[in-house]
Structure formats: structure tokens, C-alpha cells
Amino acid sequence: MIKIYAPASIGNVGVGFDILGAAIVPINGDLLGDFVTIKLSTQFKLVNKGIFANQLPRNIKNNIVWKCWLKFCQFIKKNIPVSIILEKNMPIGSGLGSSACSIVATLVAMNEISNKPLNASELLFLMGEIEGEISGSIHYDNVAPSYLGGLQLILEDSKIISQKIPHFKNWFWIIAWPGINISTSEARKILPKQYTKEICIKNSRYLSGFIHALYSQQPQLAAHLMQDFIAEPYRMKLLPNFLNVKENIKKIGAISCGISGSGPAIFSISDDICIAKKISLWLKNNYLQNNIGFVHICFLDLKGARKIG
């Protein structure tokens, strides 16, 4: 029996639409993500558990885990009957890479139980394919960090899909999910089909400047450049009072703030734990819409998907 954990992630990281992604882990030692427990069996079997298991489709063939199992077997051209327990701890449509957590954990588990027929690049390619089927387009900014850990730059080259890039160890990432859901495919449809040349140039300048600031270790410059001109202006209408929230947490002392993936989760950054705790408390009192929403102060999870136990 093998148990795999895959961490939650922040897609886009503000400035890098479909190009940047960051895996996260709460600083209190809790694990924020999905677990998959797998063992060989006579036929495919799936049991759903976890906090958000009730959000999963009742038809097994609509479950991400079943799709991952089928795709994996097709990819290696061999049927591997397994029994799987999915512990669904990430809310669907949260903006924290919920589907990526399940995809990554399942495919890593399938690869482990099958004596690793796929290398890391092949696994990541397959993860992106399945994520694309669910969200409407192939993108790696959640599956890559959930699988490989850290802050990932998505290259989508034929040989190199993603690479880990530097980060700031003293940054606290405060993430808040308000307790409501947004469909990733719907959040992508809301974006314009075309952008002006000026917006494209501005976004390229900020993204390249952000990458430069990481490599030259200029945290203030990096934080300033974490601005989203591609998705945030259109998606913010889907989030509860986003502009007011952003303004208030910046007044508290956040050095950056943005929408996590498609939303409605948001992230903010502080380099001071006291300020991070104040931001966390403010978000709990003002951004959460119900008692299932949550706020976590996180570091970047540098390990990515891994065996548990």
C-alpha cells in the first residue's frame, strides 16, 4: 500500500498568468492538499473521503481519479487494476489547485505502484493533459508546483515543461478561501480573447522584471512587480468585494496581494510574521463568507508530491 500527498498551489502568482505557480504549506506544520492511498487489486475501486468528499461527482467515471487511472493505463498500454482511497481535503473551484492536487497525487501513486514506468517529464505531461480536459485548456501552473514543489516557471518547451526558480525564504504567503466556488473553465471564459499591444508589453515587462528580481534577490522590487494585467481586471468581479479587501490588507502591511489562480481564493505576502498574523485575522473577519472558508499563513512547499508514512 502506498500513500501520496500533493500540496495546494497558487496559480499565476499575480504577474505570471499560466506561467508561474507556487506550492504552499502552512507554517504550523499542517498539510494543505489531497492524499491518495493505493494498492493493487483485482478491479478498479475508488473510495472518496476527506473534508470535501461531498463535492465530488457520484458517477465514478466523472471523478478525476478515475480519469487519471484510465489515462495512465492508456499511456503505458497496460491495465493496472487498483483500489484507491482519495482523501479530498481541497475544495473544488477554490483557486488553490484542487484538481491539480488530485491529479498529481493519483498519477504519482499510479506510477509508484506500477514500478515507475514513466519519468518525471512524462508524468508532468500527462498531468497537464488531464488538467486541460477539466479546465478547458492545458496549463501547468498548478500541477507543476504541486508535483515538483517550490516556485515553478512554466516553459512548455518540448523537452522542458517547467523549472524551479528562486524565491524569498522570509516571505509569508497568506492565502484565504472565502468558502464559495468558481469554475476554472468559467473563469477562463470571462477573459478577453485579445489584448492590446500596450498591455502585452506591460505584462512582459513586469513578468521579466519579477524573474530578474528573484534571481538578483531584490524582494521589494519583486513584490512591486507582482501585478496582474491579464486576469485580475476581469476576474475581480467574481470575488467578494476584492478591491476593498486588497486595499485594506495593503494598509495593514501586505507587500503584495492578488487572486490565486482563477479565484475566489486570494493570496497576500508579508515579510513580517506579526503583520502576516494581522492580515490573517482581518481576512478571517472580513473575507470569509461562511464557516467552511479558511485562512492559512504559509511558506512555499519545496518538496512537492511525496510519500507519506
Task: Measure the CA–CA gap between 164 and 14, rounded to whole angstroms.
Answer: 17
DSSP letter (8 states) at residue 96 = S
Q: What is the CATH number of domain 2-166?
A: 3.30.230.10
Task: Measure the CA–CA gap between 211 and 47, rounded to whole angstroms.
Answer: 42
Q: What is the pLDDT of residues 118-132, one digit of tens each?
A: 999 999 999 999 998
Q: What is the pLDDT of residue 184?
A: 81
Tell me the mean pLDDT in the region 269-292.
Answer: 97
**Percent of the chain's residues with pLDDT above 90:** 90
Q: What is the pLDDT of residue 293?
A: 97
273 CB neighbour count, 10 Å cutoff? 12
Nearest 5°: phi and psi at 264?
A: -85, 0
Q: What is the pLDDT of residue 133?
A: 85
- What are the domain boundaries of the chain? 2-166, 172-300
Whole-structure pTM value: 0.95
Q: What is the pLDDT of residues 47-87, one digit of tens each?
A: 999 999 998 988 999 999 999 999 999 999 999 999 999 99
Q: What is the pLDDT of residue 309?
A: 84
Class of domain 172-300: alpha beta
| Geometric angle at alpha carbon 150, from 281 and 91, rounded to 5° | 50
Sequence-separated contacts (24+) of 226-229 with Cβ below 8 Å: 226/13, 226/14, 226/15, 226/256, 226/258, 226/269, 227/14, 227/15, 227/258, 228/12, 228/14, 228/15, 228/17, 228/258, 228/259, 229/199, 229/202, 229/203
Q: In the predicted model, is pLDDT for residue 135 greater than 80?
A: no
Task: Measure the CA–CA gap between 303 and 290, rounded to whole angstroms.
Answer: 32
Q: What is the pLDDT of residues 189-207, one digit of tens each?
A: 899 999 999 999 999 999 9
